[in-house]
Amino acid sequence: MDKSIVKTAGLSKRYGERYAVENVSMEIRRGQIYGLIGQNGAGKTTFIRMLTGLISPTAGGIELFGESGAGLGRARARVGSIVETPSLFPNMTAACNIETQRRLAGLPAGTDTDAMLRLCGIAGTANKKVRDFSLGMRQRLALAISLITGPEFLVLDEPINGLDPKGIVENREMLKSLAQGRGITILISSHILSELAQLATNYGIIHNGRLIKQLSAEELQAEGGQDLESYFMKATSESYARA
């Protein structure tokens, strides 16, 4: 349970003179549901894009499953992810989207499409074209696709965007089930603090591109039993004061 899945050291991304992410050193351990908290523009997506290999860091290092450098490509095969808007083929059915991604991933035939859709709360949509899906349904289909490789680590960038309250609850329970029942470690970014507070076992607070605090749910409770929103406001205010 204490084995590291992710380690970053001084990870940074600069665009011109502006740092989108600056000097982030983070550790995520096996079995955690790690909530990356930050306001829009705080650097959450940039950090995730570097972690998943979509963009290259300006400085710093990434280690996944103990692999770094040339070994990162091999390690990323053990990662499932949804980053920003789900990449789907709108004129294809849900089943065809899953099958296409299976082939692109080089996986053998045999994916139980109906089971994957059922797991992600969109049972009965296999033959429905994605162009007719709501944003929330697209998010769920993207999650189903991210699971077809049997990932050990799941990276989700604002996955509850577009979900109604019932969908948010279902999403939360599904992610808990994946963590507890399948042993999947999860990194989930969000600015909806009340939802992360009901899901995450650990937190990282990112503000203006910097990781200003990491703590477990138990440590949050020990620091006065504050709710997550109050703690976030306090931490970011202290960050402003130090700047």
DSSP for residue 103: H
Q: Which residue has the higher pLDDT, 14 or 84?
A: 14
Q: How far is CA 179 from CA 29, 99, 187, 199, 222, in A?
A: 12, 25, 11, 10, 24
Note the pLDDT of residue 242.
64
Question: DSSP letter string over 132-183?
Answer: GS-HHHHHHHHHHHHTTT--SEEEEESTTTT--HHHHHHHHHHHHHHHHHS-
SS3 state of residue 72: helix
pLDDT in tens, 85-96: 778 999 999 999
- 17: tokens are 């003179």
Q: Are 96 and 144 in contact (CB under 8 A)?
A: no
Note the pLDDT of residue 227.
74
DSSP for residue 108: P
pLDDT in tens, 128-180: 999 999 888 888 898 888 888 889 999 999 887 767 788 788 888 888 888 98
Q: Tokens 């789900």 identify what position?
A: 86
Mean pLDDT, rounded, of the chain: 88
Question: What's the whole-model pTM score?
Answer: 0.89
How far does the chain reach from its first CA to its final CA, in angstroms? 36
Domain positions in the chain: 4-78+151-242, 85-150
pLDDT in tens, 202-217: 999 999 999 999 999 9
Amino acid at 177: S
Whole-angstrom distance, CA of residue 122 vs CA of residue 204: 31
Q: Tokens 């899945």 identify what position?
A: 5
Architecture of the domain delimited by 4-78+151-242: 3-Layer(aba) Sandwich (3.40)
Query: pLDDT confidence of 20, banded at 50, 70, 90?
Result: very high
